[in-house]
Amino acid sequence: MQPATALSLCAAATICATPGECESHLDAAQWTSVTVLVIFPIVLAMLLPRAACQPRDPVPHAALTTTVAGIFVVIVVMSFGFLPTFFLLLASDYPCASPLSSCGSVSCACGMSGRDGLHGRGYVWMFVMLVLTSLMLVRAVASMPGRRSRRARWRKRALTLGALLLAFTGVFPEHFATTDHTAPTSFFLGVYALHGLGILSMMVCWVFVPLGWLVGEARRLGWRSRLRPLAARAAHALTLLVYLITYASFHTHADVSDYCAPIGDDAAACAAWPSLAPAACDALAGTSMAGHRIPVPYRCTYTNRSLSAADRILLPDAYARAHSGECKKGPCTLYANARSVSLEWGALFLLGVYVGSYALHDVRRLLAIAEAEAEEEAEGETVVVHASRHEALLRARASIDASAFDARGGRPPAS
């Protein structure tokens, strides 16, 4: 008989084979870090608008007021949907058995299907919020001035484009299915590019471009009365940019696989996974699939609390014995995923608050200025045309009078 091949923990199968890479729960320092990343944008959004000395229109525009109120309703609903869910998942008994073990973004957790996902409810919530925001912004831009000025018309087109592309993020979520790893990688890359295009175009067209327009107007009209409002807007936009860059740097890749659940109620096999023969471990290195990376970012843990006390009483004995425990995802890259989700949440929250607090008011004011300047130029051209025509008529009349004077032998024409 050939000796049995010894099995050992395969580092090519899981990142968690390296000590310190994974955790089952967050420690105190990690909890503090994640909480600060989530709470800081909220505090900033409450303080900066007060320091900005936001000028108010003496007669508020009805469509603009309605849009601003709608944007803040979306922000509040988004916060109510995200904050309790996020912190309750982190504080649960098995946070690595939740979407936080698989996803580093809100969209991935919402669009993920399968036993660990949010079963489509999160995706519907995200889709409705984003498309509703796009609709409100397009309606607000359509009601703003900008018929005469060519500059205003181009600005309105850019703003409308950014608002429409925001819907891409809802139409194309960062979706991965747990049951199909055979889809081509190009499909996932294309969908993810469209998903990212929506958010990035919204940030560019509604934050950084309007801020640039505002700086240009301040340079033209004078800095003194506009320095404080510009400083508040620049601080907000800079914080948004920092969150966005940090998120791009620390964004974790989605892995929706689950090799723990099929192990079932075998506690020994669950605790040993992924123990492989050296040849199998070597063959595994370098393989990957769409929506699924190797090595995976988790290990397995066994729990014998899959049935409640009432279940054990009410279910048949044979079924209760067979299902008294289950194998779940255990230690995982929980902190890395939670940090990534917190950074994305912060960027989205800051984006929404900037649009509602600053961008809509600034854009309407800038478009009104451009429209007024275009009207003044048109009136000036009309006055010039009328003056030139009047001068031509006077010259023609003087010429006619001179001809009549000569025809009468130097006598002036009869009046």
Instruction: Look up residue 173 and give its two tokens.
Output: 């979520």
Cβ-contact 174, 105 below 8 angstroms: yes
pLDDT tens across 196-244, in order? 888 889 999 999 999 998 888 888 766 666 777 888 899 999 999 999 9
Can you give the pLDDT at residue 294? Answer: 80
Can you give the pLDDT at residue 380? Answer: 61
Distances (CA, A) of 328 to 44, 118, 265, 382: 39, 17, 10, 78
The whole-angstrom separation of Cα 255 and Cα 258 is 9
Contacts with 298 (C-beta within 8 Å, 6 or more apart), sequence order:
14, 16, 22, 96, 101, 255, 260, 329, 330, 331, 332, 333
- Give me the mean pLDDT over the 390-414 stretch: 51
Instruction: Look up residue 171 and give its two tokens.
Output: 């139409």
Can you give the pLDDT at residue 204? Answer: 92
The whole-angstrom separation of Cα 368 and Cα 156 is 12
The answer, yes or no, to whether residue 15 has pLDDT greater than 60, is yes
Partner residues linked to 267 by β-bridges: none
Instruction: Look up residue 2 and give its two tokens.
Output: 């050939």
pTM assigned to the model: 0.81
The whole-angstrom separation of Cα 356 and Cα 358 is 6
Write out the chain in H/E/C secondary structure. Answer: CCCCCCCEECCCCEHHHCCCCCECCCCHHHHHHHHHHHHHHHHHHHHHHHHCCCCCCCCCCHHHHHHHHHHHHHHHHHHHHHHHHHHHHHCCCCHHHCHHHCCCCHHHHHHCCCCCCCCCHHHHHHHHHHHHHHHHHHHHHHCCCCCCCHHHHHHHHHHHHHHHHHHHHHHCCCCCCCCCCCCCHHHHHHHHHHHHHHHHHHHHHHHHHHHHHHHHHHHHHCCHHHHHHHHHHHHHHHHHHHHHHHHHHHCCCCCCCCCCHHHCCCHHHHHHCCEECHHHHHHHCCCCECCECCCECEEEEEECCCCCHHHHHHCCHHHHHHCCCEEEEEEEEHHHHHHHHHHHHHHHHHHHHHHHHHHHHHHHHHHHHHHHHHHHHHHHHHHHHHHHHHHHHHHHHHHHHHHHHHHCCCCCCCC
Can you give the pLDDT at residue 379? Answer: 66
Cβ-contact 366, 213 below 8 angstroms: yes
- Give me the mean pLDDT over the 372-401 stretch: 59
pLDDT band at residue 159 using 50, 70 and 90 as cut-offs: very high
- Give me the mean pLDDT over the 310-331 stretch: 79
The answer, yes or no, to whether residue 413 has pLDDT greater than 90, is no
The whole-angstrom separation of Cα 103 and Cα 254 is 5
The answer, yes or no, to whether residue 320 has pLDDT greater than 80, is no
The whole-angstrom separation of Cα 319 and Cα 389 is 100
Can you give the pLDDT at residue 83? Answer: 93
Can you give the pLDDT at residue 31? Answer: 96
Query: Measuring CA to CA, which residue among 52, 20, 76 is closest to residue 361?
Result: 52
Instruction: Look up residue 412 and give its two tokens.
Output: 């002036």
Cβ-contact 312, 304 below 8 angstroms: no
Please give the residue that has the higher pLDDT: either 191 or 379. 191
Partner residues linked to 104 by β-bridges: none
- Angle at the Cα of 60 from the Cα atoms of 58 and 61, rounded to 5 degrees: 140
- Give me the mean pLDDT over the 380-390 stretch: 52
Cβ-contact 141, 122 below 8 angstroms: no
Residue whose pair of structure tokens reads 């320091």 in the numeric block: 51
Please give the residue that has the higher pLDDT: either 52 or 65. 65
The answer, yes or no, to whether residue 74 has pLDDT greater than 60, is yes
Lowest-confidence pick of 18-27, 72-81, 192-201, 214-223: 214-223
Partner residues linked to 327 by β-bridges: 302
The answer, yes or no, to whether residue 118 has pLDDT greater than 60, is no
Query: Measuring CA to CA, which residue among 129, 94, 125 is closest to residue 109?
Result: 125
Whether a cis peptide bond, with omega within 30° of 0, leads into 274 is yes
Residue 140, φ and ψ in degrees, nearest 5: -65, -40
- Give me the mean pLDDT over the 135-145 stretch: 90
The answer, yes or no, to whether residue 345 has pLDDT greater than 80, is yes
Can you give the pLDDT at residue 365? Answer: 87
The whole-angstrom separation of Cα 360 and Cα 144 is 10
